[in-house]
């Protein structure tokens, strides 16, 4: 793995953890708990949470950051990151809305919007971290 790829991964991961931590822990945690009630655990399961972040950031780097480093610049990282977020969060939220009681259209729209924004920003951060590395 090149240093650029490593820095892209670490930058994207750090941005994701900080921003999603603020979103879930500070800004929207009580809202999710109120909307989802008994569907939410008191404490999230650590292994699947860690696996999600590691896997999703891997996808961000492979499908967004590295292609943007090749051509298109940070704007491409933002566009492709937003698209990846829309598709990933969209499939998750629309499936939940279709199959789970208590998963409302409003919750789906809010979470899809967040995932789209979050992915765009984090991919841009990963892009800028990788650009600072000189091979």
pLDDT tens readout for residues 62-107: 999 999 999 999 999 999 999 999 999 999 999 999 999 889 999 9
Average of per-residue pLDDT values in the chain: 96
The stretches of 22-104 forming alpha helices (DSSP H) are 29-36, 46-60, 66-70, 73-99
> In this structure, what DSSP letter does residue 37 have?
G
Residue-level pLDDT at 135: 61
Confidence of residue 131 (pLDDT cuts 50, 70, 90): very high
Residues 6 or more apart whose CB falls under 8 angstroms from that of 39 comprise 100, 102, 103
Q: What is the percentage of the chain residues whose pLDDT exceeds 90?
A: 86
Which candidate, 64, 83, 84, places its Cα nearest to that of 74?
64
Average of per-residue pLDDT across 7-33 = 96
pLDDT above 90: residue 124: yes
Question: Under a CB-based contact definition with an 8 Å cutoff, are residues 12 and 122 in contact?
Answer: yes
Torsion angles phi and psi, residue 2, rounded to 5: -75, 160
Residue-level pLDDT at 14: 99
Residue-level pLDDT at 37: 87
pLDDT above 80: residue 43: yes
């Amino acid at each position: 793995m090149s240093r650029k790829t490593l820095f892209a991964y670490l930058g994207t991961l750090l941005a994701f953890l900080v921003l999603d931590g603020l979103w879930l822990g500070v800004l929207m945690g009580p809202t999710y708990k109120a909307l989802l009630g008994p569907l939410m655990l008191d404490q999230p399961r650590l292994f699947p949470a860690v696996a999600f972040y590691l896997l999703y950031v891997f996808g961000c780097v492979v499908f967004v950051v590295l292609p943007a480093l090749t051509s298109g610049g940070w704007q491409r990282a933002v566009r492709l990151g937003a698209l990846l977020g829309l598709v990933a969060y969209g499939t998750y939220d629309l499936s939940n809305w279709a199959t789970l009681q208590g998963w409302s259209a409003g919750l789906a729209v809010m979470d899809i919007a967040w995932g789209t924004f979050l992915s765009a920003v984090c991919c841009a951060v990963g892009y800028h971290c990788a650009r600072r590395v000189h091979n």
